Amino acid sequence: MAEEKEASVETEKEVSVAAAGASAPAAKAGLLPVIIIGILLIVASAGVTFFVVKMTMPSMPTAKHESHTGSGEGEKAVPLFMPLKDIFVNIAETKGTRILKISPTLVVSEQKLLTMMNQNEALVKDRIGFAAGKMTIDELGANGRENLKKEIIFQLNSAFQDKMAGSVTDVYFADFLVQ
């Protein structure tokens, strides 16, 4: 009787091992489609997100676009940009102990003016340096950027207004450092 019990226990173990071995490939085969569907959903959601973001973002104009002023009544002028390299000037009334470092980008209303300013970059930098160099530490304080923008716009427009139509409409500073 003891031998029969041992034989039945061994038979049950063999049957359970065989059943487990047979269900493992079945479980793996059922898991593969779930993994594939998950990967496809991730890729599809990334693609949809890309296209939604691309369609909703406005395009940025660059200096290579032509201005459309005067060609139509309802059209807006496309701003043109003229980035300049770093300009260093001594701050007024500091006896050369303090400096101002700026990296201006000029916004121009006409393509012809932008071309002329690029050809006369030395004059542009000189006028900017003149405007920045006469500012004192106090003037560069709270509203220093705005004050300097206004002065640069005034200096450049007065330098080019007799030679060309159009004007400098704004100035952006990538760097504005008082040291």
The whole-angstrom separation of Cα 169 and Cα 157 is 9
Answer yes or no: is pLDDT of 119 > 70.
yes
Q: What is the pTM for the complete model shown?
A: 0.56
Answer yes or no: is pLDDT of 63 > 50.
no
Q: Is 89 exposed, middle or buried (0-12, 13-18, 19+ CB in 10 A)?
A: middle
pLDDT band at residue 125 under the 50/70/90 scheme: very high
Region 110-137: what's the mean pLDDT? Answer: 90
The mean pLDDT value of the chain amounts to 78
